C-alpha cells in the first residue's frame, strides 16, 4: 500500500532518520553508501559538530517502505510485515493505511471466537477471494453473503474447496461472512493487494496446527528466485508452465507475475497437479485472481496426456518420498528407477521429460539428491548429466522454511535433453540470507539478484560459445568428465573453489555448510525414527517392543 506522505517541506538529517526508523546511526550511512537510489540530500544545516545533510522526509519514508523490519526487530504493536518506512511515518505522526496483514489479523481475531482458527481462516480465504473476484457491490447487495460467496466459488470452478462445515459452523459462517465482506470491501484493495492478502491467509492456513509435513508454502523469496531463473520471455508467443506438485499454486502464481512483468503480451497458461482437493482449490483461486488460463488437478488424476510438453516446469515436490507412493509416474522415468526409499529422482526425471525443445525446469530438491551414495541415484545423475539435461545446481542456505523443515535444499536447473555433453554450472549460495528470527532465514532481493545474474551470464556464455569465468566462493562451471572423476557427486560445495578466508574462525560459507550438514543429519534421524515406529506397529504394536 502507498503510505500517506509527510509534507514535502519536512527535512531530516541522518541522525533524525536513525531515530525515526529505530536504527543505529551507522545503519543510515550504510544505506546511503550501498544503495545508489537512496534519496539525495537537498540542503545542509549547522550542528554542534559541523554541517549535516538534510533529506526530504517524504522521500526517505518512500525509500524505506520496501524494507521490512526483521521479526526480531519489531517494536510493541508493530505487526509482522511492518517496514522501516511505516515506522518513520508513525514516528512523524503521519497516518497510514493499514497493511493487508494488519486488516486481516484484526478481522481474524474478531471472527474466530466461535470457530477453530482453521475454520476462521477458511472463511477469510473464501470471502477475500469473492471480494477480489467480483465487484464489491455484488456482495454488499446480497441478503445472504455466505450463499453468494459459495455461488461465486462454484461459478469459478473452485470445486473440492476445504469449506465444508458442520451445521453449527454453517450458522457461524452465515453470521460472520457479511461483516467480513463489508470490512474487506471498505478497504478498496486493488487486485495486486488482494492477491497479497490471499497469499498471507494461505500461509497462515498452512501454518495452523495439525498440518502434515508435505503441506507447506514455498517461501516468497525462493519462489521468486525460481521464477526469475526461467528463461526471459519476449514477445507475445505461447508459454505453458507445469508444476507436477503445485501445493497451493504459489510457485505458478509467482511465475505468472514475474513473466508478465517482462512480457505482458505473452500468452501464458499454467497446469498443476496438487497434493489434495483442498490445496487444489486454493491453487485454482490463486490463479483465477491472476486471470490466467489454468488447469489444476488433485493428486491421483494421472500425469498429463502422453506427448504433452511444456516451455517451463517448476516445482517444490515432497522430499525423500517413498517410490511406492509415486507408482503412477514410473512410466515417465527415462534415466532409471530410483531406490524404493526415495522418489527424489522421480520428480527430477518427470520435470526433464515434460520439457518441450528449448524448455527449462527449476526444481527444489534436498541436498542429499545431489550427493547420495546410492548406486541407483548415482547412475541417474550420471545419465542426466551425460544427456545434457542438467544445466545448473544452486545450493541455498539452510533454515529457509523455518519450523516447517530443517532440510537444506538445492535448486536443480534442467533443460530439454539434447544428448550433447555440456558443462554444468554450480552456484554455492549456502552463506546467503539473513536470519529474521531464531528459526527462519530469508533471502534478500540482492541475494536473489546475485544468483539470477550468474545464471543468466552462464546461459549467455553458453549460447555465444564463450568461456565462462566463475567466481571463487560462489560459482564454477565443470565438465562432465570432471564430474565423472568425482563419482557424479553434484553438490555445489564440492566444485566451487573456496573464496577468500575471513579469519581463523572460518568463513560464513563454511559455517553455513556445517549447519547444512547438521540439519540434514537431524532430518535423516527423524525420518529413521518415524520409519522404525511404522515397522514396529506393523509387527504388532509399538508398546510390545519397548524395554
Which domain CATH number covers 64?
A: 1.10.1660
Confidence of residue 37 (pLDDT cuts 50, 70, 90): confident
pLDDT at 50: 60
Cell of 17: 532518520
pLDDT at 463: 87
Our CA dihedral for 222, 225, 230, 234, rounded to 10 degrees, sits at 130
Which of 109-123, 291-305, 391-405 tops mean pLDDT?
Answer: 391-405
Separation CA 381–CA 329 (nearest Å): 18
Q: Is residue 379 part of a domain?
A: no
pLDDT at 284: 94
Q: Are residues 71 and 47 in the same domain?
A: yes
Separation CA 488–CA 482 (nearest Å): 9
For residue 475, list its beta bridge partners.
Answer: 427
Please tell me which residue, 182 or 390, carries the higher pLDDT value: 390
Q: Is residue 124 part of a domain?
A: yes
pLDDT at 231: 81
pLDDT at 97: 62
pLDDT at 291: 92
Q: Give, as one character, the DSSP assignment of residue 323.
A: G
Work out how many domains the chain is built from and give that number: 2
pLDDT at 29: 92
Single residue among 149, 173, 206 that ends a domain in this structure: 206
pLDDT at 304 over 60: no
Q: Are residues 117 and 62 in the same domain?
A: no
Q: Are residues 186 and 108 in the same domain?
A: yes
Q: Is residue 125 part of a domain?
A: yes
For residue 477, list its beta bridge partners.
Answer: 425
Q: Give, as one character, the DSSP assignment of residue 332.
A: G
Q: Are residues 81 and 114 in the same domain?
A: no
Please tell me which residue, 303 or 344, carries the higher pLDDT value: 344
pLDDT at 144: 86
pLDDT at 265: 73
Q: Is residue 272 part of a domain?
A: no
pLDDT at 3: 46
Q: Is residue 59 part of a domain?
A: yes
Q: Is residue 226 part of a domain?
A: no
Please check whether residue 369 is in contact with residue 410, taking contact to mean a CB–CB distance below 8 angstroms. yes
Q: Are residues 78 and 108 in the same domain?
A: no
pLDDT at 76: 74
Q: Is residue 318 part of a domain?
A: no
pLDDT in tens, 194-220: 999 999 999 988 877 444 545 788 999
Please tell me which residue, 382 or 171, carries the higher pLDDT value: 382
Our CA dihedral for 534, 540, 544, 547, rounded to 10 degrees, sits at -40
Q: Is residue 255 part of a domain?
A: no
Please tell me which residue, 256 or 544, carries the higher pLDDT value: 256
Q: Are residues 198 and 105 in the same domain?
A: yes
Please tell me which residue, 546 or 382, carries the higher pLDDT value: 382
Please tell me which residue, 522 or 391, carries the higher pLDDT value: 391
pLDDT in tens, 262-289: 777 778 999 999 888 889 999 999 999 9
Q: Are residues 106 and 202 in the same domain?
A: yes
Give the mean model confidence (pLDDT) for residues 167-196.
84
Q: Are residues 68 and 126 in the same domain?
A: no
Give the mean model confidence (pLDDT) for residues 117-145.
84
Separation CA 480–CA 530 (nearest Å): 38
Give the mean model confidence (pLDDT) for residues 237-261.
92
pLDDT at 421 over 50: yes
Confidence of residue 48 (pLDDT cuts 50, 70, 90): low
Confidence of residue 78 (pLDDT cuts 50, 70, 90): confident
pLDDT at 201: 94
Single residue among 30, 63, 91 that ends a domain in this structure: 91
Domain containing 23 equals: 11-91
- Which of 117, 103, 124, 227 lies closest to 177 in space, CA to CA? 124
Q: Are residues 38 and 116 in the same domain?
A: no
Confidence of residue 2 (pLDDT cuts 50, 70, 90): very low
Supply the mean pLDDT for the chain.
Answer: 83
Q: Show Cβ contacts of residue 95 under 8 Å, excluding neighbours closer than 6 positions.
A: 4, 89
Q: Are residues 109 and 49 in the same domain?
A: no
- Which of 314, 288, 369 lies closest to 126 in space, CA to CA? 288
Single residue among 171, 206, 241 that ends a domain in this structure: 206
Amino acid at each position: 500500500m502507498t503510505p500517506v506522505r509527510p509534507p514535502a517541506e519536512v527535512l531530516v538529517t541522518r541522525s533524525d532518520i536513525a531515530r525515526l526508523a529505530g536504527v543505529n546511526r551507522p545503519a543510515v550511512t550504510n544505506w546511503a553508501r550501498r544503495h545508489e537510489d537512496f534519496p539525495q540530500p537537498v540542503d545542509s544545516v549547522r550542528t554542534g559538530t559541523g554541517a549535516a545533510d538534510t533529506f526530504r522526509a517524504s522521500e526517505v519514508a518512500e525509500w524505506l517502505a520496501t524494507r521490512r523490519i526483521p521479526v526480531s526487530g519489531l517494536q510493541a504493536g508493530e505487526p509482522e510485515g511492518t517496514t522501516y518506512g511505516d515506522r518513520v511515518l508513525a514516528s512523524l505522526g503521519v497516518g497510514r493505511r493499514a497493511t493487508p496483514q494488519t486488516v486481516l489479523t484484526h478481522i481474524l481475531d474478531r471472527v474466530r471466537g466461535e470457530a477453530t482458527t482453521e475454520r476462521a481462516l477458511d472463511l477469510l480465504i473464501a470471502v477475500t477471494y469473492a471480494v477480489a473476484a467480483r465487484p464489491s457491490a455484488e456482495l454488499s447487495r446480497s441478503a445472504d453473503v455466505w450463499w453468494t460467496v459459495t455461488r461465486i466459488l462454484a461459478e469459478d470452478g473452485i470445486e473440492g474447496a476445504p469449506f465444508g462445515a458442520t451445521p453449527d459452523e454453517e450458522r457461524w459462517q452465515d453470521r460472520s461472512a457479511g461483516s467480513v465482506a463489508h470490512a474487506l470491501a471498505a478497504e478498496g484493495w486493488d487486485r495486486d493487494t488482494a492477491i497479497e492478502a490471499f497469499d498471507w491467509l494461505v500461509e497462515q492456513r498452512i501454518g495452523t496446527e495439525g498440518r502434515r509435513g508435505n503441506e507447506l508454502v514455498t517461501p516468497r523469496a525462493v519462489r521468486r528466485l525460481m521464477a526469475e531463473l526461467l528463461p526471459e520471455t519476449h514477445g507475445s508467443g505461447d508459454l505453458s508452465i507445469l508444476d507436477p506438485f503445485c501445493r497451493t499454486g504459489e510457485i505458478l502464481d509467482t511465475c505468472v507475475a514475474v513473466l508478465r512483468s517482462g512480457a505482458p503480451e505473452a500468452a501464458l497458461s499454467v497446469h498443476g497437479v496438487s497434493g489434495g482437493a483442498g490445496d487444489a482449490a486454493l491453487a485454482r483461486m490463486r490463479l483465477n485472481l491472476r486471470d490466467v488460463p489454468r488447469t489444476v488437478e488433485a493428486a491421483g488424476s494421472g500425469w498429463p496426456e502422453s506427448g504433452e510438453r511444456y516451455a517451463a516446469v517448476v516445482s517444490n515436490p515432497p522430499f525423500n518420498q517413498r517410490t511406492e507412493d509415486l507408482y503412477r509416474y514410473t512410466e515417465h522415468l527415462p534415466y532409471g528407477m530410483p531406490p524404493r526409499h526415495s522418489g527424489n529422482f522421480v520428480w527430477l526425471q518427470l520435470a526433464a521429460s515434460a520439457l518441450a525443445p528449448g524448455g527449462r525446469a527449476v526444481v527444489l530438491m534436498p541436498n542429499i539428491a545431489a550427493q547420495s551414495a546410492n548406486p541407483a541415484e548415482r547412475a541417474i545423475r550420471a545419465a542426466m548429466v551425460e544427456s545434457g539435461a542438467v544445466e545448473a545446481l544452486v545450493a541455498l542456505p539452510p533454515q529457509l522454511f523455518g519450523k516447517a523443515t530443517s532440510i537444506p535444499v538445492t535448486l536443480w536447473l534442467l533443460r530439454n535433453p539434447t544428448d550433447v555433453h555440456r558443462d554444468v554450472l554450480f552456484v554455492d549460495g549456502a552463506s546467503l540470507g539473513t536470519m529474521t528470527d531464531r528459526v527462519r532465514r530469508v533471502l534478500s532481493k540482492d541475494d536473489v539478484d546475485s544468483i539470477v545474474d550468474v545464471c543468466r551470464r552462464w546461459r549467455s556464455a553458453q549460447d555465444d560459445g564463450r568461456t565462462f569465468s566463475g567466481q571463487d566462493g560462489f560459482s564454477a562451471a565443470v565438465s562432465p568428465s570432471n564430474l565423472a572423476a568425482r563419482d557424479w557427486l553434484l553438490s555445489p560445495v564440492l566444485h566451487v573453489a573456496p573464496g577468500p578466508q575471513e579469519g581463523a574462525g572460518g568463513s560464513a560459507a563454511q559455517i553455513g555448510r556445517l549447519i547444512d550438514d547438521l540439519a540434514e543429519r537431524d532430518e535423516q534421524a527423524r525420518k529413521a525414527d518415524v520409519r522404525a515406529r511404522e515397522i514396529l506397529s506393523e509387527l504388532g504394536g509399538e508398546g510390545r517392543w519397548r524395554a
